[in-house]
Amino acid sequence: MEKLKILFFGDASNYHITLAAALRELGHETTVISSGSGWMDTRRDINLSRGAGLTGAVKYVADIVRLLPRLRGYDVVHLINPIFIDLRPGKVKMVFDCLRRNNRHVFLSAIGTDLCYVKACYDGKTFRYSDYLVGDRPSPYMLSSESKGQSNWFLPEMKQYSKHFVSHIEGAVACLYEYYAAYSKELPKDKLAYGGIPIDTDAIEPKIITETPDKVKFFIGVQRNRNVLKGTDLLLAALKRTCDRFPKQCEMRVVENVPYAEYVKLMSESHVILDQLYSYTPATNALLGMARGLVAVSGAEPEFYDFIGEHDCRPIVNVSPLVDGDIDAKLAWIVENRDKLPTLSRMSREFVVKHNDSRKVALRHLDFWNKIINRNDA
C-alpha cells in the first residue's frame, strides 16, 4: 500500500487527531490543523484559531495567508466541514480552491452541521426526528434563542459555495449514519463512505462494572451553547426527576464546559453516561464512555444498528424524542434493573472495540481513499 501524506484541516471532538494518530501507526504521514475546538483545547499539530474583534480577524486572515504556502504536496486533504475556516463562504472558497490546486485529492469528513445535513433534516423524509424537527414539529432548539442564525445556511452565498464545494470534492467519509444518509442525497454512491468515529481503545483502560451497584452513578456533560440543540436540557431535567424519585439508588454528576482531558477523567468515575437526545447514533462522548465500560443513554435507533450490520451487540439505551416520558421511563428502568449493568457494561466496551477502534476506522478511510486515488490517477 502506498504511503500517503495526509493533511487534516479542522477538527471536532478529537476526531481528526485520533484518526491521524492511527494512520501514523499504519505508516502514513499526517498533519492536523485546528483551533483546538475552543474551550475543549483538543490536541493539534498546527494551531489556527481566531481571536476576538477586528484585531483577531486581521491576525486570523494573516495566519491563513502565511500558512497556505506550506500546505502543498499532500496526497490527501481532509476537511472537517465545507466551512472549515472561520470566514465568509466567498473567502473560504478561495482557500478551498487553493488547496485543490496544490494537492492531489481533497475529501470531506462529514461530521457536523452544513447545508447538506440541514437540508436532509428539514425535508421531512430522511429522518423521523433531528436537531431541527421532531416528527412534523419544530424541535425545542428551533423554538429557542439558540437557533438564531440557522437561516444563514440558506443564504444565496452559502448555497452557491456549498454547490461548488460538493461538486469539487472527490468524496466524503461520514462519521455517523445521519451524515451518510444526508450526503447520499448529494453524492453518488462511489464517492461516499462510512468511517465511524475513531476511538483509541488501547489508550482507554476499561473499568467494566462487575457487580450490581447499590447506587447508580449517572454522568452528563453540558455544553452551554449547545444545551438545547443536543437535548441536554431534557436529559438533565429527566435525570433530576429520576434522582428525586430514587434518592437512595442513584446520584448524578453534571459537568459544564470543562477541558476535554478533565471531562474524560470525571466521566470515567461513573456507571452511566447521558449524551444526545436527537441522534440516531452514539457520538463521541457516548463512545468514549462505552470504551471505558460505561453504559450509554443516547441515540441507537434500529436504522443505525442495521446500517453497521450489528444484530447481536446492542448495549445502548436508546431514548426517543418522539415518545412522551421515554427518557424518564428508560432512566427508571436502569435504576430498577441495576443487575443488568454488568452485562451492558461489558457489551459496551465490546461494541466500541468492534466498530470504532481508531485503527479500524483508519483502515476504512484508507480503503476508500485508495479506491478514489487508483481510479482518478489511472
- Mean pLDDT confidence for 179-188: 96
Average pLDDT over residues 198-225: 92
CATH 3.40.50.2000 residue ranges for the chain: 5-198+357-376, 202-355
Burial, 312: exposed, middle or buried (Cβ in 10 Å; 0-12, 13-18, 19+)?
exposed
The CATH number of the structural domain formed by 5-198+357-376 is 3.40.50.2000
Q: What is the mean pLDDT of residues 121-136?
A: 93
Give the tens place of pLDDT for each residue, 282-293.
999 999 999 999
pLDDT of 145 reads 77
Give yes or no for residue 226 having a pLDDT over 80: no
What's residue 1's pLDDT? 61
- Structure confidence at residue 265 (pLDDT): 81
Taking domain 202-355, whether its CATH number is 3.40.50.2000 is answered by yes
* Residue with cell string 487508483: 374
> Mean per-residue pLDDT for 198-218?
95
Kindly tell me if the per-residue pLDDT of 266 is higher than 70.
yes
**What pLDDT, on a 0 to 100 scale, did the predictor assign at position 207?**
93
pLDDT band for 256, please (50, 70, 90 cuts). Answer: confident
Model confidence band, residue 38 (pLDDT cutoffs 50, 70, 90): low
pTM here is 0.94
Alpha-carbon span 16 to 6, nearest angstrom: 11
Weakest-pLDDT range from 31-45, 164-178, 350-364: 31-45
Distance between CA 139 and CA 154 in Å, rounded? 18
Note the pLDDT of residue 51. 82
354 has a pLDDT exceeding 60: yes
Rounded to whole angstroms, how far apart are CA atoms 166 and 183?
9
pLDDT, one tens digit per residue, over 54-103 is: 888 899 899 899 999 999 999 999 999 999 999 999 999 999 999 999 99
Per DSSP, 88 falls in state -
C-alpha to C-alpha distance for 35 and 245, rounded to whole angstroms: 42
Cβ–Cβ < 8 Å for 133, 126: no
CA distance 317 to 310: 15
